[in-house]
Amino acid sequence: MIRLGVNIDHVATIRQARGGREPDPVWAAVLAELGGADGITVHLREDRRHIQERDVRLLRSTVRTQLNLEAAVEPTILDLAVLIRPDQVTLVPERREELTTEGGLDVVGHRQRVAEAVERLRGAGLEVSLFLDPEPAQIEAGLALGVHAIELHTGRYAEAAEPEAAARELDALIRAGRQIVAAGVALHAGHGLNYQNVGAIARIDAMRELNIGHSIVSRAVLVGMEQAVRLMKQAIREAVVNSGIGSTRPNG
């Protein structure tokens, strides 16, 4: 069975747009789990643009499935990860120089730093995944670090404009998947996956986990819109009825 990790970062993006308290990603995580999520994924960015430290701390005690923390290779974030103890830490790039051209973590270019981060986390007894492009040299370098999983970056596949380009990217993902699985490491994938393009990725041999955020949060906004409007109409109606204002108006 392929596990679905639901990334709720963009619930926090909506909250941060007003700097208030809603929508609370902790509530969203509960609802995602009720819907069948096998895990909750959040990215605590250094700039705190969406998820806050408070969210991760609360999620640690409320998530009943698995908490996957995406983290930069930065001492302060790694310290927090060790303190909060998520079920899995996925190391991701945050700074331009840590990015490969496609968007995964550049392990080849920052071997020593990434190795030290993996060692720190594993030494604390945490499971570590690396977010890498489907690029043989990056995967080889990642596998050498003794991680428990590699998450393949599916962005290029997801964003391919032509079917031929998508097929080429899919092929690269399939080959990278074989390389990972042959080394006995768990195969994960994510980024840019949606209701249309997820099928081909789910069919990759030995796929263990998919992490999906933006398209699920986007769909949630749409499928929840009717009910949200209905509830607001009801709140307005009830306020008017309770105050007696409605009964004095000619049209009720």
User: Could you list the residues that contact ligand PXP (CB under 6 A)?
Assistant: 7, 43, 70, 90, 92, 131, 151, 190-193, 211-215
Cα-Cα end-to-end distance for the chain: 56
- Ranges of beta strands (E only) in the chain are 3-7, 39-43, 67-71, 88-91, 127-132, 149-153, 186-190, 207-212
Cβ proximity to ligand PXP, 172 vs 212, nearer residue: 212
- Beta-carbon count within 10 A of 104 CB: 27
- Ranges of beta strands (E only) in 44-140 are 67-71, 88-91, 127-132
Query: How near is the Cβ of 149 to ligand PXP at its closest, in Å?
Result: 11
Query: How near is the Cβ of 240 to ligand PXP at its closest, in Å?
Result: 41
Question: 124 is written with which tokens?
Answer: 């604390």
Cβ proximity to ligand PXP, 180 vs 193, nearer residue: 193
Catalytic one among 10, 50, 70, 188? Answer: 70
Burial of 107 (0-12, 13-18, 19+ CB in 10 A): buried
Cβ proximity to ligand PXP, 11 vs 26, nearer residue: 11
Neighbouring residues of 216: CB distance < 8 A, sequence distance ≥ 6 = 6, 7, 32
Catalytic one among 10, 153, 188, 191? Answer: 191
50 is catalytic: no
Cβ proximity to ligand PXP, 97 vs 226, nearer residue: 97
Cβ proximity to ligand PXP, 51 vs 141, nearer residue: 51
Query: How near is the Cβ of 227 to ligand PXP at its closest, in Å?
Result: 24
Query: How near is the Cβ of 18 to ligand PXP at its closest, in Å?
Result: 21
- Beta-carbon count within 10 A of 168 CB: 14
Contact 198, 170 (CB under 8 A): no
Query: How near is the Cβ of 51 to ligand PXP at its closest, in Å?
Result: 11
Catalytic one among 43, 50, 153, 188? Answer: 43
127 is catalytic: no
Active site residues: 43, 70, 191
